Amino acid sequence: MDKLLIEALARQAGLDRALAEFPDCVLAAAKQAIGRSSEINTPTSPAVEPWPPMKVGAGA
């Protein structure tokens, strides 16, 4: 991703200080996140819903 775009997204997230003091960390973090969802086979059926985020039942 374009460095200028990453910097703009970082500022939008309030990371101005991190961007000034630790630009390599901000860049590394952005690279980890961007495109990560392309590794996921997002369900095509609209019946697959995203909630509740974590409920495994009541147990015994």
Partner 1 sequence: MSDDLAWLTATQASRAFAARKLSPTELVRALLARIERLDPKLNAFIRLDAETALAAAATAEAEIAAGRHRGPLHGVPVGIKDIIDVVGLPTTCHSKVMPNTPATADAVVVGKLRQAGAVIMGKLSTHEFAIGGPSFDLPWPPARNPWNRDHHPGGSSSGSGVGLGAGFFPLALGTDTGGSVRNPASACGIVGLKPTYGLVSRRGVFPLAFSLDHVGPMTRDVADNALLLDAIAGHDPHDPGSAASSSRDFARGLERGVRGLRIGYVRHFHEQDMPAHPEVAAGLDAVARTLAGEGAILSDITLPSLGEFAAVNRVILNAEAWTIHAPWLRERPGDYGQLARRRLMPGAFLTAGDLLAAQRRRAEMIAAVDAALEEVDVLLCASSMDPASRIEDADETARTYPRQARAPFNTTGHPALAMMAGLSRDGLPLSVQFVARHFADATLFQVARAWERASGVDRLHPDLS
Q: Which residues bind partner 1 (CB under 8 A)?
A: 6, 9-10, 13-18, 21-22, 25-26, 28-30, 32-34, 36-37, 39-43, 48-51, 53-60
Distance in Å, CB of 51 to partner 1, minimum: 7
Instruction: Report the 3 state secondary structure along the chain.
Output: CCHHHHHHHHHHCCCHHHHHHCHHHHHHHHHHHCCHHHHCCCCCCCCCCCCCCCCCCCCC
Of the pair 4, 51, the CB lying nearest partner 1 is at 51
